[in-house]
Amino acid sequence: MKRKNMVIAQSGGPSMVINQSLAGAVLEARKSPKIGKILGARHGILGILGGEYVDLRKPSAKKLAAIAETPSSALGSCRKKPDAADCRAIFEKFRELDVGYFFYIGGNDSADAARIVAEEAEKEGYPLVVYHIPKTIDNDLRSCDHTPGFGSAARFVASAIKGDDLDNRALGGVKIDIIMGRDAGFLTAASALARDRADDGPHLVYLPEVPFSLDRFVKDVKAAMKKFGRCVVAVSEGIRDKDGTPVAARFAAGEKDSHGNLQLSGTGALGDFLASHLKAKAGVKRVRADTFGYLQRSFPGVASKVDQDEAFAAGQTAVRAALEGKLSKGTVAILRAKGRKYQAAFAPRPIAEAAKFTRSVPKEFIAKNGHDVTAAFVEYARPIVGALPKCEIF
């Protein structure tokens, strides 16, 4: 096979470990005689269209390791869905640069963008191996048991709830914490990992998978206040009423990205609404709401080690699979090996399996009462999230 150049880029929301995948792919690519230039496009496909590249043969292994440890997308990101015209422009650029391999690190929308590029390349007869490398803090890729980025964001969430529960123990009342997750409640569910003792919060957990009712919410909080004398509530930003309308849609500015997703993060409106409602209806004097916001995906120094390692391995696997050539448009599925001890397995799969459609928190992870998760979820998430800081009380 003729030596070809490769382009790699990052897309969608950043995570704490997306640079691990970049480093894994780049270091693997450097080992192969089949790959010439290793080009990092800045800001996803926008950098390809604009010809903005980082030469990824240059950075030392030490520098790459430091980048891998750094949160956010070191190459920059975008939320751009390419159309046929964009693809033609991309192939024109790729032809000039003799690009034969394209790797795109991101979530389901990014997988879909990569799928579009791959399919348009086939139509155009441009020879291109395209691999999607999975990343999403939402943990909602259908192709994966769990997704790189989730474990670290979940570690932030569980740590934050752990600290916040101690804060609530000290001053009482109700504390509402709004957690990321537009359609899937995995990250909100991870708040349950904060519990060590029977009366530890979160005392209530609301996922987008369970229709949300304000009346029920008030009743749940009253019951928790009666039982615990205080209440910590983990709420997904994506909670929706029985008609499927997001509760946050009442306040959202209506801003949408090019994949049609409504902006839910970067505002405290949902938390404030729920807090006001409780003050008025639940007879609780002290109600506070925090929205964890972008810290969940970008806070340095709290990444899960398992998540870091798996993100790196996902990048390596994509490059190996691309070079092997069995699938010309693929994604990397992350599976869980059977057995007592936690172990992940990585396998190339057709890109369509990761693209566009997402998965939700499965029923066996949702408690029957509709406001908690099950022990099965905790067992599922614990090894991915890793140990949390130990907290002691009297």
66 is a contact residue toward its own copies (CB under 8 A):
yes
142 is a contact residue toward its own copies (CB under 8 A):
no
Among the residue ranges 64-72, 97-105, 345-353, 356-364, the one whose residues contact its own copies (CB under 8 A): 64-72
Which residue among 295, 327, 367, 378 contacts its own copies (CB under 8 A)? 295
76 is a contact residue toward its own copies (CB under 8 A):
yes
138 is catalytic: yes
Check if the beta carbon of residue 216 is closer than 8 Å to that of residue 204: no
At its nearest, how many Å lie between its own copies and the CB of residue 104? 15
79 is a contact residue toward its own copies (CB under 8 A):
yes
3-state secondary structure of 306: helix
Measured CA to CA, the distance from residue 37 to residue 46 in angstroms comes to 19
Measured CA to CA, the distance from residue 279 to residue 220 in angstroms comes to 14
- What order do you get walking across the sheet with 287-291 strand by strand? 204-206, 230-236, 173-179, 287-291
H or E element at residue 313 = helix 305-324
- Tell which positions 306-335 bind its own copies, by CB under 8 A: none
Nearer residue to its own copies within complex by CB, 271 or 348: 271
- Tell which positions 168-187 bind its own copies, by CB under 8 A: 169-171, 175
Measured CA to CA, the distance from residue 258 to residue 272 in angstroms comes to 28
Contacts of 330 (CB under 8 A, 6+ apart): 130, 131, 132, 318, 321, 322, 348, 349, 350, 351
Q: How many CB atoms lie within 10 A of CB 135?
A: 32
Token look-up 């992940």 returns 344
At its nearest, how many Å lie between its own copies and the CB of residue 75? 7
Of 265, 342, 320, 324, which is closest to residue 298 (Cα–Cα)?
Answer: 265
At its nearest, how many Å lie between its own copies and the CB of residue 66? 4
304 is a contact residue toward its own copies (CB under 8 A):
no
Measured CA to CA, the distance from residue 13 to residue 10 in angstroms comes to 9
Among the residue ranges 76-84, 141-149, 208-216, 358-366, the one whose residues contact its own copies (CB under 8 A): 76-84
228 is a contact residue toward its own copies (CB under 8 A):
no
Which residue among 101, 299, 365, 380 contacts its own copies (CB under 8 A)? 299
Measured CA to CA, the distance from residue 296 to residue 317 in angstroms comes to 26
Nearer residue to its own copies within complex by CB, 100 or 151: 151
Q: Which residue among 138, 140, 165, 220 is the active-site one?
A: 138
The 183-222 contact track toward its own copies, x by CB under 8 A, reads: ----------------------------------------
Check if the beta carbon of residue 156 is closer than 8 Å to that of residue 302: yes
Which residue among 61, 249, 253, 337 contacts its own copies (CB under 8 A)? 253
Of 239, 202, 240, 220, which is closest to residue 282 (Cα–Cα)?
Answer: 220
Check if the beta carbon of residue 157 is closer than 8 Å to that of residue 179: yes
At its nearest, how many Å lie between its own copies and the CB of residue 326? 32
Tokens of 269: 């409106």
- Which residues are identified as catalytic? 138
User: Which residues of the shown chain bind its own copies in the complex (CB under 8 A)?
Assistant: 10, 13-14, 40, 43, 54, 59, 63, 66-67, 69-79, 159-160, 162-164, 166-167, 169-171, 175, 253, 265-269, 271-272, 275-276, 279, 287-295, 297-302, 388-394
